Amino acid sequence: MEARHPIDTRLPEMLRSGRPVRAIFNGLPSPAIVEMCAYAGFDAVIIDNEHGSADLETTEHLLRAARAAGIPALVRCLEHDIPRVLDIGACGVQIPMVQSPEHAAAIVRRVRYPLPGGRGGQRGSAFSTRAAGFGAFGGPAHTKLSNEGLALVVMIETPEAAQQARAIAAVDGVDAVFVGPNDLAHVMGHENRIHDPEVQAVIEHVMREVAAAGKCPGVLALSAQDQARYTAWGARLFATVTTGIITQALRQAAQAGDAGTKY
């Protein structure tokens, strides 16, 4: 039987396809939750190592669960974690607080392996990692697969970055630009009120600029109404959050119990 490669390479094409991609952030250190996201029908899971509690060993298990269940798994991480996150088999990374096209280009170099002739990036090469099948898939084939098959999503979360959205999106190697509306609202002085008109106007600007650059615009969409509005602005990558869904379901169950519902 032929061994299955650890890396799921479908996500870059999904982001280029023009079709909507429905993803879900998961900050819970539970492989079972990742499996449930796959079985529920999400197109991708974003393992949240910016705000979640999983360490790298647990993240590796979350990636195994995603691969086994058949769902592409990005990892949202801080920049210094990019090499190790990719080495444990993420199908891409989502990087917060990208501020300029120069910043985005520097991240691209950290994601890509060097190539002959001084091309490619600056990622350190090791074929003993899970991403290379612990040596089973090492060598130039692994370098090529990684450079072509890993996705990079950069996040815009400030008005200053939003002003450069088209230039950030146009950087070669950036597959999608995702607006973080909560951080954006806080930076703009609107606390967590992401639906305030001023915040929504910046989100619309970013969505339209990224689409104009030929890349995939992404945004947090916690309701069908949000997704419909952002779709009209050009968005194609939409995400919700496991903890919000679970808490809402638990609250509904608790309220139903108070009303006398029997389980």
C-alpha distance from residue 8 to each of 27, 65, 129, 169 (Å)? 20, 12, 15, 23
Task: Give CA–CA dist 88/100, Å, rounded.
Answer: 28
pTM check: above 0.85: yes
C-alpha to C-alpha distance for 119 and 225, rounded to whole angstroms: 44
**pLDDT tens, position by position, 109-153:** 999 999 998 888 999 999 999 999 999 999 999 999 999 999 999
pLDDT, tens digit, 9 for 90 and up, residues 78-99 = 999 999 999 999 999 999 999 9
Query: What are the structural domains, with CATH classification, of the chain?
Result: 11-154+229-258 (3.20.20.60)
User: Of 5, 51, 61, 205, which is the active-site residue?
Assistant: 51
Strand partners, 179: 156, 219
**CA pair distance 54, 61, nearest whole angstrom:** 10
> Sorting pLDDT into bands at 50, 70 and 90, what band is 263?
very low
Q: Is 51 a catalytic residue?
A: yes
Per residue in 189-247, pLDDT tens?
999 999 999 999 999 999 999 999 999 999 999 999 999 999 999 999 999 999 999 99
- Quote the CA–CA distance of 147 and 132 in Å, as a whole number: 13
Give the whole-angstrom CA distance, residue 121 versus residue 119: 7
